[in-house]
C-alpha cells in the first residue's frame, strides 16, 4: 500500500524557518515584522497564498510577484536552519519502507525546497515520488498532485497523511484514506475535518496503516 505524506506540519515543523524568511523580507521592504503565530497561521496553501496574506497583514504596496520572489530568495537560501522533524518521523518512515510500502510526498511547498529539505535530513532516498506546489499547474486542495503521486507509486489503495484542512479536503476529493497528524498546523476542530484515523505520535502510524490495509483487503 502506498503511503503519501504532506510535508510542513506533518513530517517537519518548518514554521520557524518560514517565519524567519517572512520577517527578513519585511525588513528588506521596510515593514514591521509579524509574530510567529501569525505567520504560522498563514502556512498550508502554498507560498503564493502565504505571500498574499503577508501583503494583506502589512498593507504592503509591493506587487505580489516581487514579494514572492523575495520570500523565496530568503527561504531557499537555507530552508532547514530552524526546521526540525517531528518525533519518531525518521524511524517510522524507515519502518514503513522496510515493510514494503512505497512512500511519496505531496505538499504545497515548491518542489525545489521540498527536495532540499528531504536531502538535508537524509530522507530523500525514502521517497519514490515527490510532488510540490509547483510540480503541476494546480496544487492542493486540487486532488491532481495527490493522484499523480499515487499513480507514480503504482496506484491501488493508498493512504494520505497530513495535518491540515487543505490535506483533509485533498484526500476527500481524491477518494483516498486520510490519516491526520493532530500536532501540526490545523486550525479547525478535529470533529469538523473528514478523516479515517487520527494520531499524535508517528510511532502509531505503522499500526494505522496496517488497519487501513486490512480495511481494503
Q: Which residues contact 137 (CB under 8 A, 6 or more apart)?
A: none
Active site residue 124: no
Distances (CA, A) of 137 to 2, 99, 131, 140, 144: 24, 33, 11, 11, 9
Beta strands in the chain (DSSP E): 3-5, 12-13, 84-85, 103-106, 129-131, 159-162, 177-181, 197-199
Length of the chain, in residues: 217
Q: Specify whether the CB–CB gap between 11 and 104 falls below 8 A.
A: no
Distances (CA, A) of 25 to 46, 177, 203, 213: 17, 38, 37, 45
Q: Which residues contact 190 (CB under 8 A, 6 or more apart)?
A: 180, 182, 198
> Looking at 6, 8, 13, 17, which residue is catalytic?
6
Q: Specify whether the CB–CB gap between 11 and 172 falls below 8 A.
A: no
Q: Specify whether the CB–CB gap between 175 and 159 falls below 8 A.
A: no
Q: Which three cell numbers mark 22?
A: 517572512
Tell me the catalytic residues: 6
Amino acid at each position: 500500500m502506498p503511503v503519501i505524506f504532506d510535508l510542513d506540519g506533518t513530517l517537519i515543523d518548518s514554521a520557524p524557518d518560514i517565519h524567519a524568511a517572512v520577517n527578513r523580507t519585511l525588513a528588506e521592504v521596510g515593514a514591521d515584522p509579524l509574530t510567529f503565530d501569525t505567520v504560522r497561521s498563514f502556512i498550508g496553501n502554498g507560498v503564493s497564498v502565504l505571500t498574499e496574506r503577508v501583503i494583506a497583514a502589512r498593507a504592503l504596496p509591493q506587487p505580489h510577484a516581487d514579494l514572492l520572489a523575495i520570500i523565496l530568495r530568503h527561504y531557499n537560501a537555507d530552508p532547514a536552519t530552524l526546521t526540525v522533524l517531528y518525533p519518531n518521523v525518521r524511524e517510522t518512515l524507515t519502518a514503513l519502507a522496510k515493510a514494503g510500502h512505497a512512500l511519496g510526498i505531496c505538499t504545497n511547498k515548491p518542489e525545489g525546497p521540498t527536495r532540499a529539505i528531504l536531502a538535508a535530513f537524509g530522507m530523500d532516498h525514502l521517497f519514490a515520488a515527490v510532488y510540490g506546489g509547483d510540480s503541476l499547474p494546480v496544487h492542493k486542495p486540487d486532488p491532481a498532485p495527490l493522484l499523480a503521486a499515487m499513480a507514480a507509486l503504482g496506484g491501488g489503495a493508498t493512504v494520505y497523511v497530513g495535518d491540515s484542512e487543505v490535506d483533509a479536503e485533498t484526500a476527500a476529493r481524491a477518494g483516498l484514506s486520510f490519516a491526520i497528524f493532530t500536532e501540526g498546523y490545523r486550525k479547525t476542530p478535529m470533529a469538523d475535518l473528514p478523516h479515517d484515523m487520527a494520531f499524535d505520535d508517528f510511532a502509531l502510524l505503522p499500526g494505522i496503516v496496517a488497519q487501513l490495509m486490512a480495511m481494503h483487503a
